[in-house]
Amino acid sequence: MNLRKRHKGASAEVHTSAMNDIMFFLLLFFLIASTVTNPNVIKLMLPKSSSGQSVSKKTINVSIDKDLNYTIDKKQVPVDQLQPTLQSYKSLATELTIVLYVDRTVAIQDVVQVMDIAQKLNIKLVLATEPKG
């Protein structure tokens, strides 16, 4: 004989299916937000000066395609005019950097030729690559 009374009322249950959706969206938000931010950047409040000079930094895109066509900032230039054209760009900016885009089928001698011209003109040169993957 069972003397206890049974209550047939509401039972206490916790539904966590909505909690799973919320946690998924929070995880997705933080993953996207972490790729946008750059933690290696240090923001500084620089002092102001009325007599300071601004240094002009300019980059020039030089590209060599598989047919050995040389292009400087989307203008095709013959090989023999490469050095005078870069010299004219150097006179416009005090600190100049060349970003060199080269097709992978181009011989290394053609790349070295552009590097030699940059070295003669005392211009920094960076070789552009694609990331693996």
Q: Choose the weakest-confidence range: 50-59, 76-85, 94-103, 111-120.
A: 50-59
Q: Are 86 and 124 in contact (CB under 8 A)?
A: no
Task: Note the pLDDT of residue 113.
Answer: 92
Q: Is the dihedral of CA 89, 94, 100, 101 positive or negative?
A: negative
Entry pTM: 0.55
Residue 73 lies in a domain: yes
CATH number of 63's domain:
3.30.420.270
The C-alpha atoms of residue 54 and residue 75 are separated, in whole angstroms, by 28
Inform me whether the pLDDT recorded for 14 exceeds 90: no
Give mean pLDDT, residues 78-101. Answer: 87
- Structural domain total, the chain: 1
pLDDT tens digits along 25-70: 999 998 888 777 665 555 555 556 555 554 457 888 898 888 888 9
Residue 105 lies in a domain: yes
Residue 121 lies in a domain: yes
* 72: its two tokens: 């400087």
Q: Which domain holds residue 121?
A: 57-127
